[in-house]
Amino acid sequence: MTRRKALLTVGGGIGVVASGYAWSERRGLTRDDSVSEPAPSLSSQMNSLLTYAALAPSGHNTQPWSVRVAADNVRIGSDQSRWLSKVDPHNREMALSIGAFLENLLVACPGHGYHAEFEITGSNPSDSDLIQVRLAQTTETARNALEPLRLRRTLRTGQLSRPLSSEDVDALTHYFEQYAHYFPSESREGRFLAQGTIEASRAQARRDDVQAELAEWIRFPNADARTRRDGLTQESMEIAGFAGWYVRHFMSRESAMSRTFREQGVDRVQQQVSSCGGWILVTSPDSSLESLVETGRKTERMWLSARHRQVAIHPMTQLLEESPFRHQIGKELGVASPIQFVLRVGYVENYPKPVSLRRLVSSILRT
């Protein structure tokens, strides 16, 4: 029997030192554990379309979208119970997530025999009704567009330190015109972003309200994850093997409030920022709802194209969530437009399948 030690840390502030012996355990959770059961009130075509839309990313995997379906019209809103009021008090990040949801829906439409047009109906991110999508049946199909939606994934570990090639930078950022900036990790700007992210993470770890909000979205036991089909699982946080087993069986929301838990979370961030190819800052013309939705759409479009280039994307939002960092970052980097995403990027040798769980379509429907 082999004795082993494991240091457990999780991005955003989870950590514990554990020791034990080799063990056998069944596989961890995968996205297959949250395959969506059809909503009885919807056609199979609409169920499938919304399933693909809901593969969009969101902070803490809260999946904050809601939908109302009437005939072939889809109205997209947000679920207030899933807002992150401590790190995202103005719903900026939530609106970006809604933009990613909309982009997924638009990309998936041709594969389901639809043509789509949309209109922003809300005036600010806190409105209950945000976007109306009008669908029209079409004979054209594009099923090949669905695979990037299925395979998109956030990767927190395994990034190489090699800078991105100019060809890949251009391919990833051309969606944004002047509203995206790439900084290699060894540049002055890259070093500022790495150190600033560490300091902002340390500031967040000291805040009880932020830590408690994070803890609410960590799915410690598998049973909790299977029931809720959202939040942060050990697999999505990339805690494997004995470490994942330990978290599932011996940690809880109360553990997340401990000093060790918080300190090792900051250590995890230090490890992450020390290994990447660089950073992509995504900005927008302003911070209106329209700009946030469009920026979320374009960022998701970039994300969907990253896998075939073996480029991992990891949003690190701490700098934009904490004072005084969010007021300093633009000036330090010479960026005048509002910054909406700080993305850690890098090549990876292996690109694993997605594992973050997804809610049932029926759970996002509103009548």
Range 287-303 average pLDDT: 98
Q: Where would I find the beta strands (DSSP E) of 27-149?
A: 65-70, 73-78, 114-120, 129-137
Which residues are within 8 A (CB) of 108 and not within 5 positions of it... i.e. 6 or more apart?
Answer: 48, 49, 52, 53, 145, 146, 149
Cβ atoms < 10 Å from Cβ of 274? 12
Contacts of 53 (CB under 8 A, 6+ apart): 65, 101, 102, 104, 105, 108
Q: CA-to-CA distance for 6 and 356, rounded, in angstroms?
A: 23
Q: What is the pLDDT of residues 29-74, one digit of tens each?
A: 566 655 567 788 899 999 999 999 999 999 999 999 999 999 889 9
- pLDDT tens profile 84-96: 999 999 999 999 9
* Nearest Cα to Cα of residue 205 among 17, 16, 12: 12
Q: If you average pLDDT over residues 277-294, what whole number do you get?
A: 98
- On average, the pLDDT of the chain sits at 89
Lowest-pLDDT choice from 1-15, 20-34, 161-175: 1-15
Residue 346 identity: G
Q: Is the pTM of this model over 0.75?
A: yes
- Is residue 22 pLDDT above 80, yes or no? no
Whole-number pLDDT of residue 241? 83
d(CA 239, CA 177): 37
C-alpha span between 189 and 127 (Å, rounded) = 36
- Whether the predicted pLDDT of 11 surpasses 70: no
> 357 - beta bridge partners?
none
